[in-house]
Amino acid sequence: MTDTNIDTQDISTEPEVEMTSKKPSRLLAVITLLSIVLSVCAIAGAYYLYTINASNNIAYQQQAQQLTSKIESQAALQNTLLEQSQSMTADFKSKVEQLNLQLLDVQNKNKLYSSDVQSLQRSLAETNVRHPNDWILSEVEYLINLSSRKLWLEHDLISTIALLKAADQRVIEMRDPSLNPLRRALLEDINMLDELPEHDVDSTVLKLSSLERRIDKLLISGLEMPEIKSKKTDELSQDVGDWKANLNKSWHAFIESFIIISHRDVSVEALLSPEQAWYLKENLRNNLAKAEFAIYREQQALYDFSLQNALQLVDQYFDMTDKSNQSFYAQIEALSQQKITFTYPDQFKSAPVLARIIEQRLTKSLMLQEAE
């Protein structure tokens, strides 16, 4: 009995031991499994999060690239618009400047037109209020202006005096005592010009030109050879006894036919070559031409210097025994005494007197017209 109990006790204790030993192993398996599952879940979650982050990063990068491209395109567009606006501004400025210039031109033209209109209106008023005799004063003014041009531009003293005398005659024809101051001024101008030495430029130039044409006919000294001393030829004797003398004479005549010896009483000076003679005459002609040039320029020093050189050349190299050369020299000497520079008055006394009379008459006429 005892044995059976013991066995039962042993039998009953073994399963308990097995049960207690299996419980921890299962728990460990469950924990391991849970840990594996959690690890897998964590890995899966991490992978999921990684994939999501990667896709988000790619999307963000694409969006950033798109934004960058948009910004660049907008910047390019802004640059293009800025350039267009600058070019448009420059064109606008140039057009504005052109318009300003055109406007200024139009304003200047308007000023000119207005001044022309005013002058036309004044001229019309003058024609309406002037007395018929006043037109003679305009003719007198024209004659005085023309005489001043003749004097100061052309230095034509004769024509100047004639024009002033014509102006004085026109004033006489008006028979207006109020114009006596104008007549007095005209006569003073005429008397002042009469006191000036006469200066006929054309006459002096023509004389010099005539002398230039005579240069080629002048005779240069030394070109005429002195006469050869004539030698009487001995005639042969008809006497037979003079045969020796006749033979001697015949022999000398035969020799002299080969060698001629001429005897002159006057020494022969060295002759000028044709080239030297040509240069001499051209030098003389050049001096006369310079004198003509000095007349138009009123250069007294050049005029005197040129004619003095011409006189020296004629006296030194040309034959002064010839009458034509003597006349040539005398004419140059007479021309060298002339004065080609004169002091003319700065203004005629009659010009301001006439201008004052015309202005007074015009003002008086306009005042009478306005009063009416």
Query: pLDDT tens digit string along 96-120?
Result: 888 888 887 787 777 677 766 666 6
Q: What is the pLDDT of residues 183-232, one digit of tens each?
A: 999 999 999 998 887 767 788 899 999 999 999 999 888 644 445 544 44
Q: Are the C-beta atoms of residues 324 and 120 closer than 8 Å to each other? A: no
Q: Confidence class of residue 24 from pLDDT cuts 50, 70 and 90?
A: low
Question: Which is nearest to 359 in space by CA: 115, 141, 168?
Answer: 141
Domain boundaries, the chain: 1-91, 130-198+345-371, 200-220+271-341
Q: What is the pLDDT of residues 45-81, one digit of tens each?
A: 777 777 776 676 677 677 777 777 777 777 787 778 7
Q: What is the pLDDT of residues 278-295, one digit of tens each?
A: 889 999 999 999 999 998
User: Which stretch of DSSP H or E encloses residue 172?
Assistant: helix 157-174
Model pLDDT, residue 271:
56
**R_g over Cα of the chain:** 66
Q: What is the pLDDT of residues 116-138, one digit of tens each?
A: 666 665 665 555 545 556 788 88
Model pLDDT, residue 212:
92
Mean pLDDT, all residues of the chain: 77
Which segment of 21-25, 280-284, 353-357 scores lowest on mean pLDDT?
21-25
Q: Could you tell me the CA-to-CA distances from 168 to 133, 146, 191, 352 in Å, in that order?
A: 15, 14, 13, 15
- DSSP letter for 132, please: T
Strand partners, 220: 318
Q: What is the pLDDT of residues 315-330, one digit of tens each?
A: 998 988 989 999 999 9
Model pLDDT, residue 169:
94
Q: Which residue has the tokens 């000119």?
A: 112
* For residues 135-154, average pLDDT: 89
Residue 260 has pLDDT above 60, yes or no: no
**Other beta carbons less than 10 A from residue 193's beta carbon:** 18
Model pLDDT, residue 4:
41
Q: What is the pLDDT of residues 299-310, one digit of tens each?
A: 899 999 999 999
Residue 11 has pLDDT above 60, yes or no: no
Task: Give the three-class secondary structure for 290.
Answer: helix
- 130, two tokens: 């002037």
CA 191/CA 258 separation, integer angstroms: 81
Q: With pLDDT > 90 as the criterion, what percentage of the chain qualifies?
A: 26
* Helix residue ranges per DSSP H, 130-156: 134-152
Q: Confidence class of residue 15 from pLDDT cuts 50, 70 and 90?
A: very low
Q: Confidence class of residue 371 from pLDDT cuts 50, 70 and 90?
A: low
b/e per residue 234-251 (b: at least 16 CB within 10 A): eeeeeeeeeeeebeebee
Structure-model confidence comparison of residues 75 and 182, the more confident one: 182
**Other beta carbons less than 10 A from residue 348's beta carbon:** 24
